[in-house]
C-alpha cells in the first residue's frame, strides 16, 4: 500500500475544483486542435495533392507534435509549477509548518512534486491518449510512441527534482521587494531540449527521441555516444545523467526541506558533483578521441597505449581544478558591480540580487569562452583541424545572443511583476520551445534541414564540429546561415535593448 | 518543585549586521503562560523561531523538555506547536481542507480527523466558515484558523507569535480563555506581543525584551514585588466604616490600608481560599461587601518599572 502524502492530497484538491479542471481540459483540447490544424497546413502546403498526402502523413506528423506537447506539459510547465509552488511556500512561510510536522522529507518532496503537477499529469495522460490517434492512423509505431513518452516522463521527473532543489535553495531577495517564483531551474528543460553543448542535451528526452526515429540522418548519433571505450545509446547516457545528478539533487532537496539553513550545496555534495562532472567529461573526451574517427582525426600512434593513463590524469586535473575553484571562488565579486543594479547606493551581492541574470550571463559567457579555448587546445594537441574563422564568428553570435535572451527574460520579469511568470513564460516558451520544435519537425521530416531557423537560437553555433547533416558541410551554406543568424540576432538585440531600457525605468520608479 | 519545560541560556542570534538576540536567558515552567513582551524589533520573533527549531542561532544553550535543541530538533518538533506572526495559508483550500492537511500530516487516524476538525472549528468559532475558501476569510479569521491548526497535534508546548493581531475584542477574550484552559491542562504556552494589554489578562509569567535582550523575566507575582504566598485584595464596602477594628487581629491579614472612602487594600497570607475566608469572616461581623478583587501589578506597570524605554 502506498504511503499517504498529505501535501499531495491537499495540492491535488486545489487543482481539481470543477472550474479550474474544466478550463484545463478546454485549454488542452484547444492546444491539440491547434496542433491538428498546424499539421494540416504543414502537410497540405508541402504537397500538391494535399488531401491525399494529408491522410497519408497526418498520423506521423500528429504523433510528433503530441510528443512535443507531452514534453511541454510535463517537462516545461511541470518543472516550472514545482519551483513556483515551493518558492511561494517559502516566501509565505507555510513551508515552516510542513517542517514542523512529523512527515519525513521524502514525503514532503514528493508531496510538492506530485501535488504541484497533478493537473499536468491529467493533461499528460489526455494528450497521450490523443497521440494514439496518430499512432493508429498510420503514424509512428506504438512501441516508439510508448518509449518516447517514458523518456519524457523520466526526464520531467529529473527536471522536477532539480526545480524542487532550486526552489528550496535559492536565496529569496527580501531587500529588493521583488519576489520571483519561477527561476532559472524552470527554464532548463527548455534550454536543454535544444542545446547540444557539453551534453546538456541528454538531460532532455530529445536526443533519445531523435535517435529512436531518425537514426541515419543524424550521423553523430547513428552509432551511439562515444564514452570511454564504448558506444552507448542516448537512452543509456540520459539515464546515467538523470540517475547521477538526480540522486545528488534529491539529497540536496532532502537536506533543504528539513532546514532552511545551510548552503545550496554542502562541500561534500559539491565534491560529489564535481567528481561526477569530471568523470563524465573525461569519459566523453576520451570516447570522442578514441572512437569517432569520422569527425576527429584518429589518435596518433602510441596514444592508445597511454590513453588510460591520460584519462586518469585528466580526471584528476579537472577534479582538482574544480575543487580549487569552488574553495577559492570569492563570495563578493566586486568587478560585477557594473552588471548589478544598485539601490540607494548599497551594492547588492550578485548572488542575492533578484535581477542578477546579467551577472550570471556574464559569468556563463566567461565559462563558455574558457571551455572553448580548452576544447580547441585539446583539438590542436590531438591534431584536429579547426576552422578558426567559423569559431570566431560563432563567438560573435553566441555572446550577444546569450545577453539578448537574458534581456528579454529580465525585461519581461521586471515589467510584469505581478503574475509576470505567465507572460515571461509565454515568451520563453515561444523562444525556446516553439522555434526549436519547428526546427526539429522540419529536420525530421523534410529532406533538407531548415538551418536558418537555428539562427534564432544561439547555441548550435557554438559547437566546434558539425553534426547537422551533410548539407551543412558546404561552406557557402554555413556562411549563409551564419550571416542570416548574425543579422537577425542583431535586429532583435536592438529591440531588446529598447525593451530593457523600458524595464530599467520601471525598476527605478518602483524601487529607488 | 516545578518542572522546567523551556530553559534558555545565553542565547545569541546574529543576522548579517544585526544582533537580533543577545544573551537571552529565561525559564518557563510547566503549565505556565509566558508572555514575551517588547516593541517591534526587540527579538521576540527570532527567539520564538529559535525555540521552534526554525532559526539557527549563533550560540547558547537551549533545552526544551530536556531535549537539546541542536541535537534533538526532530524530537522537539514533535512536541511543539508554532504559530508565526503572519498567516501563511493556502488560499485555494477550503477551511476544513486546510485543517485536514495538518490533521493527516500529524498522523491523526482517518476516522478521527473530521471529528477533530469539527471540534477545533467550534472552539474557534469557525464552524460557519467550514466550507469557505481560506482566501475569502478576514485577517482575524485566518489568524484563528492558524491557531486552530496549531492545536491539531495537541502539542505540549505552544509558541504563539502575536496571535491576537487582527482579532476583534470578543475574539481576543475568547482566545485568552482558551489559552487559560490549555494551560490548566498542563500545557506550556509562550506568547509574544508588543501590545501589553493583550497579555495582561492571562499571562502567569513574563519576559520583557528590548533591543535583543531580556531585561526582566519571571513570574508576575514575583517581579511585581509580592513575596510568594501573599495576596493583595481590593475590597469595596457598602458603608464607610473603619475596617481596622475588625481585621487588625485576624491572623491571615498582614497589612491593610484605606485608599478611598469605602475602599480598602488588604494584604493577606495564603492562597485564593484565604480570600473566601476573609469575606466570610467580615460578613459574619455584619459588614456589607460590595466588591472584592484580587490585585496584581499588571504587565504594563511591570514593563514601565523594568526600565524599558520603548513601548508600543
Domain boundaries defined on chain A: 1-210, 335-512
Of B80, B88, B105, the CB nearest to A93: B88
Q: Could you read off the pLDDT of B60-73 as tens digits, one per residue? A: 889 998 889 888 88
More reliable by pLDDT, A253 or A219: A253
CB atoms within 10 A of CB A143: 10
Q: What is the mean pLDDT of residues A142-166?
A: 93
0.95 exceeded by pTM: no
> What are the chain B neighbours of A4 within 8 Å (beta carbons)?
104
What is the secondary structure of A173-198 as a DSSP string?
-TTT----SS-HHHHHHHHHHH--ST
Q: Is B45 a member of any domain?
A: yes
Q: Could you read off the pLDDT of A169-196 as tens digits, one per residue? A: 877 654 433 345 566 777 788 778 766 6
Q: B172 with B280, same domain? A: no
Q: B93 with B146, same domain? A: yes
Q: Could you read off the pLDDT of A63-122 as tens digits, one per residue? A: 877 888 888 888 888 898 898 889 888 888 899 889 988 889 999 999 999 999 998 999
What is the span of the domain harbouring residue B212?
A: 4-224
Q: Is B244 a member of any domain?
A: yes
Provide the CA A263 distance to its chain's centre, in angstroms. Answer: 24
Q: B213 with B239, same domain? A: no
Q: What is the pLDDT of residue A109?
A: 95
Residue B287 neighbours by CB under 8 Å, 6+ apart: B237, B241, B243, B246
Least confident of A311-320, A423-432, A447-456: A447-456
Alpha-carbon distance of A129 to A49, in angstroms, equals: 29
User: Is pLDDT of A246 > 90?
Assistant: yes
pLDDT confidence bin for A38, thresholds 50/70/90:
low
Least confident of A298-302, A486-490, B110-114, B178-182: A298-302
> What are the chain B neighbours of A5 within 8 Å (beta carbons)?
none
Q: What residues does B11 pair with on adjacent strands?
A: B24
More reliable by pLDDT, B187 or A48: B187
Residue B262 neighbours by CB under 8 Å, 6+ apart: B236, B237, B238, B239, B240, B290
Q: Is B304 a member of any domain?
A: no
User: Is pLDDT of B250 > 90?
Assistant: no
Is B53 close to A100, i.e. CB distance below 8 A?
yes
Q: Which three-class secondary structure state does DSSP give residue A347?
A: strand
Q: What is the pLDDT of residue A121?
A: 92
Alpha-carbon distance of A428 to A343, in angstroms, equals: 28
Q: What is the pLDDT of residue B3?
A: 83
The total domain count for chain B is 2
Helix B95-105 and helix B139-151, axial crossing angle in degrees, nearest 10? 20
Look at residues B203, B224, B245 and tell me which one is the last residue of a structural domain. Answer: B224
Q: Is B306 a member of any domain?
A: no
Is A100 close to B77, i.e. CB distance below 8 A?
yes
CB atoms within 10 A of CB B216: 18
Q: Could you read off the pLDDT of B88-128 as tens digits, one per residue? A: 889 889 999 999 999 999 989 988 999 999 999 998 888 99
Least confident of A416-420, B12-16, B37-41: A416-420
Alpha-carbon distance of B113 to B124, in angstroms, equals: 17
Q: Is B301 a member of any domain?
A: no
Q: Measured between CA atoms, how close is B312 to chain A, in angstroms?
A: 25
Q: Is B310 a member of any domain?
A: no
| Cβ–Cβ < 8 Å for A80, A164 | no
Least confident of A206-220, A369-383, B15-29: A369-383
Q: Could you read off the pLDDT of B196-210 as tens digits, one per residue? A: 666 767 788 888 888
> Nearest residue on chain A to B49, judged by CA atoms?
A96
CATH of the domain at B217: 3.40.50.300
**Interface residues from chain A to B (CB-CB < 8 Å):** 4, 6-7, 9-10, 13-14, 17, 89, 92-94, 96-103, 259-261
| Cβ–Cβ < 8 Å for A67, A152 | yes
Q: Is B9 a member of any domain?
A: yes
Q: What is the mean pLDDT of residues B220-243?
A: 73
CATH of the domain at B254: 3.30.70.920
Q: Is B287 a member of any domain?
A: yes
Q: Which three-class secondary structure state does DSSP give residue A218?
A: coil
> What are the chain B neighbours of A93 within 8 Å (beta carbons)?
84, 86, 88
Instruction: State the complex-level ipTM.
Output: 0.75
Amino acid at each position: 500500500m502506498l504511503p499517504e502524502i498529505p501535501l499531495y492530497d491537499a495540492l491535488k484538491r486545489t487543482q481539481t475544483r470543477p472550474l479550474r479542471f474544466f478550463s484545463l481540459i478546454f485549454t488542452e483540447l484547444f492546444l491539440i486542435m491547434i496542433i491538428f490544424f498546424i499539421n494540416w497546413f504543414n502537410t497540405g502546403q508541402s504537397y500538391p495533392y494535399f488531401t491525399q498526402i494529408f491522410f497519408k502523413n497526418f498520423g506521423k506528423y500528429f504523433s510528433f507534435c503530441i510528443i512535443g506537447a507531452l514534453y511541454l506539459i510535463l517537462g516545461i510547465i511541470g518543472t516550472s509549477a514545482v519551483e513556483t509552488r515551493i518558492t511561494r511556500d517559502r516566501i509565505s512561510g507555510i513551508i515552516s509548518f510542513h517542517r514542523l510536522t512529523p512527515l519525513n522529507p521524502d514525503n514532503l518532496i514528493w508531496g510538492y512534486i506530485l501535488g504541484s503537477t497533478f493537473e499536468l499529469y491529467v493533461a499528460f495522460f489526455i494528450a497521450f491518449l490523443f497521440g494514439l490517434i496518430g499512432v493508429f492512423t498510420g503514424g509512428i509505431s506504438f512501441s516508439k510512441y510508448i518509449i518516447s513518452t517514458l523518456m519524457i516522463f523520466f526526464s520531467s521527473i529529473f527536471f522536477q527534482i532539480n526545480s524542487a532543489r532550486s526552489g528550496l535553495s535559492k536565496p529569496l531577495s527580501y531587500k529588493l521587494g521583488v519576489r520571483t517564483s519561477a527561476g532559472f531551474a524552470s527554464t532548463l528543460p527548455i534550454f536543454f531540449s535544444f542545446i547540444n553543448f557539453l551534453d546538456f542535451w541528454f538531460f532532455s528526452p530529445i536526443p533519445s527521441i531523435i535517435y529512436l526515429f531518425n537514426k541515419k540522418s543524424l550521423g553523430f548519433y547513428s552509432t551511439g555516444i562515444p564514452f570511454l571505450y564504448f558506444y552507448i545509446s542516448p537512452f543509456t547516457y540520459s539515464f546515467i545523467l538523470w540517475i547521477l545528478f538526480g540522486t545528488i539533487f534529491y539529497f540536496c532537496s532532502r537536506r533543504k526541506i528539513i532546514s532552511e539553513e545551510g548552503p545550496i550545496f554542502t562541500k561534500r555534495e559539491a565534491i560529489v558533483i564535481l567528481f561526477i562532472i569530471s568523470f563524465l567529461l573525461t569519459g566523453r573526451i576520451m570516447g570522442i578521441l578514441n572512437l569517432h574517427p569520422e569527425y576527429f582525426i584518429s589518435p596518433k600512434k602510441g596514444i592508445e597505449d597511454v590513453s588510460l593513463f591520460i584519462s586518469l590524469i585528466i580526471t584528476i586535473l579537472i577534479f582538482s581544478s574544480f575543487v580549487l575553484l569552488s574553495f577559492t571562488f570569492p563570495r563578493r565579486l566586486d568587478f560585477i558591480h557594473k552588471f548589478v543594479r544598485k539601490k540607494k547606493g548599497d551594492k547588492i551581492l550578485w548572488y542575492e540580487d533578484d535581477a542578477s541574470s546579467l551577472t550570471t550571463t556574464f559569468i556563463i559567457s566567461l565559462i563558455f569562452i574558457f571551455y572553448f579555448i580548452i576544447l580547441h587546445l585539446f583539438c590542436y594537441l590531438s591534431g584536429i583541424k579547426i576552422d578558426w574563422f567559423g569559431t570566431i564568428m560563432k563567438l560573435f553570435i553566441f555572446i550577444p545572443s546569450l545577453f539578448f535572451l537574458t534581456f528579454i527574460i529580465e525585461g519581461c520579469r521586471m515589467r510584469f511583476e505581478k503574475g509576470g511568470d505567465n507572460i515571461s513564460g509565454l515568451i520563453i516558451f515561444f523562444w525556446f520551445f516553439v522555434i526549436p520544435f519547428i526546427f526539429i519537425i522540419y529536420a525530421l521530416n523534410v529532406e533538407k534541414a531548415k538551418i536558418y531557423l537555428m539562427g534564432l537560437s544561439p547555441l548550435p553555433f557554438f559547437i566546434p564540429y558539425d553534426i547537422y547533416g551533410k548539407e551543412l558541410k558546404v561552406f557557402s551554406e554555413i556562411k549563409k546561415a551564419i550571416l542570416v543568424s548574425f543579422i537577425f540576432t542583431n535586429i532583435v538585440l536592438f529591440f531588446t535593448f529598447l525593451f530593457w531600457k523600458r524595464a530599467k525605468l520601471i525598476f527605478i520608479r518602483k524601487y529607488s | 518543585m516545578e518542572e522546567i519545560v523551556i530553559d534558555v541560556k545565553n542565547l545569541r542570534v546574529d543576522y548579517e549586521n544585526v544582533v537580533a538576540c543577545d544573551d537571552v536567558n529565561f525559564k518557563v515552567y510547566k503549565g505556565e503562560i509566558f508572555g514575551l513582551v517588547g516593541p517591534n524589533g526587540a527579538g521576540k520573533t527570532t527567539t520564538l523561531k529559535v525555540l521552534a527549531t526554525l532559526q539557527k542561532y549563533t550560540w547558547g544553550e537551549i533545552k526544551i523538555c530536556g531535549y537539546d535543541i541542536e541535537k534533538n530538533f526532530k524530537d522537539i518538533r514533535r512536541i511543539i506547536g508554532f504559530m508565526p506572526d503572519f498567516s501563511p495559508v493556502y488560499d485555494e483550500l477550503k477551511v476544513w481542507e486546510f485543517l485536514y492537511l495538518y490533521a493527516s500530516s500529524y498522523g491523526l487516524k482517518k476516522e478521527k480527523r473530521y471529528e477533530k476538525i469539527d471540534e477545533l472549528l467550534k472552539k474557534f468559532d469557525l464552524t460557519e466558515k467550514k466550507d469557505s475558501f481560506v482566501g475569502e476569510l478576514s485577517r482575524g479569521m485566518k489568524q484563528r484558523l492558524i491557531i486552530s491548526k496549531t492545536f491539531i497535534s495537541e502539542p505540549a508546548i505552544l509558541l504563539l507569535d502575536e496571535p491576537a493581531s487582527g482579532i476583534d475584542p470578543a475574539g481576543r477574550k475568547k482566545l485568552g480563555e482558551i489559552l487559560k484552559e490549555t494551560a490548566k491542562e498542563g500545557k506550556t504556552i509562550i506568547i509574544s506581543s508588543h501590545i501589553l494589554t493583550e497579555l495582561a489578562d492571562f499571562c502567569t509569567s513574563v519576559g520583557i525584551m528590548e533591543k535583543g535582550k531580556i531585561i526582566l523575566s519571571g513570574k508576575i507575582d514575583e517581579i511585581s514585588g509580592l513575596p510568594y504566598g501573599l495576596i493583595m485584595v481590593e475590597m469595596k464596602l457598602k458603608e464607610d466604616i473603619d475596617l481596622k477594628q475588625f481585621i487588625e487581629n485576624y491572623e491571615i491579614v498582614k497589612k491593610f490600608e484605606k485608599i478611598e472612602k469605602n475602599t480598602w487594600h488588604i494584604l493577606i497570607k495564603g492562597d485564593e481560599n484565604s480570600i473566601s475566608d476573609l469575606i466570610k469572616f467580615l460578613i459574619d461581623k455584619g459588614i456589607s461587601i460590595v466588591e472584592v478583587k484580587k490585585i496584581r501589578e499588571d504587565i504594563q506597570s511591570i514593563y514601565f518599572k523594568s526600565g524599558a524605554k520603548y513601548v508600543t
